[in-house]
Structure 1
Amino acid sequence: MVGPMDVVKCIWLPQRDEMRVILQKYIVDISLFYHIVHVPSLQSLVEDIYAGLEANVRVDVGGVLLLLSICASTTYAWSPPDDIRCLFANSAEANGQSTFWIKQALDVIGHSQKTAHASLECIQGLIILFFVFCNHESVSFRARNVFMYAISMATELLLHRIDDPTASSMPTLVRMSEAKKEIGRRVWWFMVATDWTLAQFSCPQEGVYLIHKHQMAVNKPRNTNDEDVIEGVDIIDRPETEATCMSYFVQRIRLAEVCRALLDRTPVGTQASESIAYQDILDVDAKLNKFIQNAPSFFSVNYPGLDELPATDIRRSLFITAQRYMLNLLVHRQLCDAEDTTEGEDEVAGAWKILHEVQDQFPPAAKLLELSIKILRKYKIKHRALDLLQQQVSGIAPYNNSFPMTPESANQEIRMSSVQQNIGTETENVLLEQHWQMLEGKMDLNTIDWDKLFWGIDAPFI
């Protein structure tokens, strides 16, 4: 019964046909980087949820969260080439819906917490939502909070003990089919790899990981395609040299283990001598090079004979190609020489140039550009990145001439001129934090380590 003071929340989902289009986009373009789902099961889940809604019966909360998270992720990643799907008027409309789906997902998370709901689908939804938050606001408190909730729910479902020799005495695991356990391994190990990698970032969790390798009993997920994971059929673990939808995932776990080994060498609160630190660097460098040597050949950017392979060969597919470059980016970013400061300055200049160019098409970019100037000025940050920024805003930067002479470019000049006039206004600085909250960054500006912020330009992309 609902009392007069109770608030009844309504959760919106796309129409069934629209959800199918969104799901297809997610499977093709997004899932390849964190393949924590089983595509055939996910497609069946969509049909079951909509069939339940049409029959006016209760649907699974975890499944709803998973769909909402997919909607948030897909609309964020929607780009002009996707306009041929004819689901949105344009990519800007799709991108603008991402925050709506995030809020819907947060409402479902709140409900799941109140009802103590826990399911594998709910964990998958939380993981996807974590990455959506990272895309919107970096590794923020909200992003980490969602991720930690996923870990908590996973331990509640005993995913950390799927392959425990005593699992036969645990009813939760006994009721889980072998196919479900395999998906559980994917989910658990993805959280493990993310946890170990997250400790590399400049955030409160820096240098600390939550999942210990000796406090879990879970085999690594098999290198197998989704169509081979079938109820009642033995799952074949294919060799690493064979490309599957899990190949990148398997290598990602190996790379995360290298990251964890580095963290274990440098405990929090300790400071190694120069000789020990140098030896650690040599050891990690050796591990990274060994990782590169042992990685499957089809993940090499110099893979011999790639062009001679048939067009239908999976090693030439779009998802293996994207994974190839992503994996190499993650690894080689660790090995690049960070002494070339000119290259770093070019990266900063390029980033601000992008913001400057897209501010008419993407209003948050204009606001972010303006707020960035105010933040750096208010906190008296002295850095060459700030000098480059000020030059670009004031029109000194050489790329100004690249803008087309259109009414839009004139509007850009007027807007940036206004930014320069107001940059030193103290009354606007008083409202700075409020404006930042409007971007949903949810960050406390006083706690930001500005040195690490700029150091991030040369930090490992991992």
Structure 2
Amino acid sequence: MEETYEIMATGNVPDMANLMLFLVIFAGGSLAWSSQLLERLNTTQAEASAAFTAYSRLALSIVEDDAHPVAASTIALASISILSHLVTNSDGFGLKVHMLRMRCLLMMRELKINSLDTPASSEERRLKGCNMIEIEVQRRIWWSMVASDWLIGFSGGHHEGAYIYQPRHMQVNYPANTDDEFITPTATDIDLPSSVPTAMSGFLFRVRTAKLCREIVDAMPSVLLDDNKADYHVVLAMDAKFQTLFKELPWFLQLDPENVEKSKEIVTQRPWIAFGRISGHFSLHSRLCRLHRPYHLEGMTNPKYAYSHEVCIRSAQTVLELRRQMDEAGAKIDIRPSRFWTVMQHVFVAALVLATDVSFSPDAPDAEARKAKVLMAYQILESSKQESSTLVESIQRNLQILMSALQKQRVQPPRESTASSAVSSGAIHDAFRDEALGSGLMEVDWDQLWTEFLAVAPDLDAQQWNSLLDDVDLGGFHPALF
């Protein structure tokens, strides 16, 4: 950093990869502000927000400068991947993120990271030597990008059902399960068993979850087919994989009270373990709920699918409870989940699932408890206004779009088939998007929105509701991080 500043002070141009890395680190620091930090720096939240915008735009301008492209390097890769993460969680999963992710892929191919651990590459490193710090960083970047790609493949929205990184086209070992201080330029045999907690435990948990998402995408019908509802035996087979993953997790990543209590000492020493455990299960339960959602409402009346209804509700409730726990765990490592678009997307969908369930069975024994959880989700989203008004406005806008479609559906005749229902609801969604965005609906408050939602949803049948929930575009963002 001193060298970079000295170069700029003399009027010369610094290494652009180094400069980009510093800019994204500064941007990340600006995004992670706390009231204590603002006080120490004698600054404000608005100034921190402006600093984040300035640093991230400067970094993005370096990436987009085709006249002076940044040479492929590990530092450049790290910079672009971090920038992709920051943009995703500040602006949503828009075109800029796609561009950054594609730049990463092309640069990794240029550096041949996709074949980093082939026998030929390993032998070349043995003969010529290498810097193992750089090799481990390359593995981390590769698997971070791969995991994001596979997680997006089973997260709902327009990108669901497809992924870019094909397992047959890569040979890259997982990053070592170890702490950074044990990785030296000459380090070998540093990989510890998964039962040993390290700074990489949460990262590897995320990779395992992503791998399961890819297996689900491979097993499910193509999204290009008109009737893309998976056979129920496929859903149950994928559910079994979730249960296996839950059981095979290291004990300190287990969510049951006994192991949580047992891990207290480790969490005190390594507070990021608790956040990794919570965010990992948050991601898993969000996708377990997604897996069973096509059979959720049908399971209310058909005993064959009762298990899906039970799992969908239980996982949605778990998502909201884990979101509550995130605040305490995140505060200890300066992570504020309320600033993550990806986190709030999961909360929004879980709340919709529970709200719909309540509206279809208002007299169920636990209906009041479920209503309370929906209200808790509303309070979580509402409180996020202090962190990111843009985030909450996006969610409100999409709830209003959904309400417009629901109101329109209320006067439509029953659907004759799943296929026609999907087409019709998609058309309604498109037709009412512009109306919702342009009619001043942003002035509607949350209480009114939820009240209207609970009033209208019972008039829809299961097919209509499922197709509507599948069609709604949640602000263009996806859970790429979680």
Report the Cα offset of residue 460 of structure 1.
8.5
Supply the distance in 2 between the matched residues of 1:383 and 1:351 (Cα, whole angstroms).
Answer: 25
Alignment of 1:25-424 (within 5 A): 46-50=1-5, 52-53=7-8, 58-83=13-38, 86-87=40-41, 89-111=43-65, 114-115=68-69, 117-167=71-121, 176-266=130-220, 268=222, 269-270=224-225, 277-302=231-256, 304=258, 307=261, 311=265, 313=266, 317-336=270-289, 337-338=311-312, 343-344=354-355, 364=390, 382=408, 393=444, 397=448
Report the Cα offset of residue 201 of structure 1.
3.5
Report the Cα offset of residue 363 of structure 1.
6.1
Supply the distance in 1 between the matched residues of 2:409 and 2:378 (Cα, whole angstroms).
Answer: 15
Report the Cα offset of residue 129 of structure 1.
1.4
| Counterpart for residue 425 of structure 1 | none
Question: Judging changes above 3 Å, is the alpha-carbon distance between structure 1 residues 196 and 214 closer, same or farther for their aligned structure 2 residues?
Answer: same
| Counterpart for residue 31 of structure 1 | none
**Alignment-mate amino acid for residue 393 of structure 1:** V
**Alignment-mate amino acid for residue 355 of structure 2:** G
**Alignment-mate amino acid for residue 62 of structure 1:** A
Question: Judging changes above 3 Å, is the alpha-carbon distance between structure 1 residues 279 and 398 closer, same or farther for their aligned structure 2 residues?
Answer: closer
Question: Judging changes above 3 Å, is the alpha-carbon distance between structure 1 residues 236 and 450 closer, same or farther for their aligned structure 2 residues?
Answer: same
Contact kept, 8 Å, 1:198 with 1:206, in 2: the verdict is yes
Contact kept, 8 Å, 2:88 with 2:97, in 1: the verdict is yes
Report the Cα offset of residue 127 of structure 1.
1.3
Contact kept, 8 Å, 1:315 with 1:321, in 2: the verdict is no
Which of 431, 447, 452 matches 2:470?
452
Supply the distance in 2 between the matched residues of 1:266 and 1:321 (Cα, whole angstroms).
Answer: 33
Gaps of 5+ in 1: 1-45, 401-448
Structure of greater relative contact order (alpha carbons < 8 Å, 6+ residues apart)? 2
After superposition, what is the alpha-carbon deviation per residue over 1:94-145, rounded to whole angstroms, capped at 9, x for unaligned? 1332222221111111236733521111111111111222112322121111
CA RMSD between the two structures: 4.2
Question: Judging changes above 3 Å, is the alpha-carbon distance between structure 1 residues 218 and 115 closer, same or farther for their aligned structure 2 residues?
Answer: same
Number of residues of Structure 1 aligned to a counterpart in Structure 2: 361
Report the Cα offset of residue 393 of structure 1.
2.8
After superposition, what is the alpha-carbon deviation per residue over 1:198-219, rounded to whole angstroms, capped at 9, x for unaligned? 2223455332211111111211
| Counterpart for residue 42 of structure 1 | none
Contact kept, 8 Å, 2:195 with 2:250, in 1: the verdict is yes
Supply the distance in 1 between the matched residues of 2:210 and 2:384 (Cα, whole angstroms).
Answer: 35
Question: Judging changes above 3 Å, is the alpha-carbon distance between structure 1 residues 296 and 114 closer, same or farther for their aligned structure 2 residues?
Answer: same
SS of the residue corresponding to residue 205 of structure 1 reads coil
Supply the distance in 1 between the matched residues of 2:242 and 2:25 (Cα, whole angstroms).
Answer: 33
Identity of aligned residues (%): 24
Question: Judging changes above 3 Å, is the alpha-carbon distance between structure 1 residues 377 and 103 closer, same or farther for their aligned structure 2 residues?
Answer: same
SS of the residue corresponding to residue 166 of structure 1 reads helix
Contact kept, 8 Å, 1:333 with 1:460, in 2: the verdict is no
Report the Cα offset of residue 391 of structure 1.
12
Q: TM-score, normalising length from structure 2?
A: 0.63
Contact kept, 8 Å, 2:63 with 2:69, in 1: the verdict is no
Report the Cα offset of residue 147 of structure 1.
0.8
Question: Judging changes above 3 Å, is the alpha-carbon distance between structure 1 residues 298 and 335 closer, same or farther for their aligned structure 2 residues?
Answer: same
Supply the distance in 1 between the matched residues of 2:386 and 2:117 (Cα, whole angstroms).
Answer: 54
Question: Judging changes above 3 Å, is the alpha-carbon distance between structure 1 residues 397 and 72 closer, same or farther for their aligned structure 2 residues?
Answer: same
Which segment is superposed worse, 216-225 or 109-118? Answer: 109-118
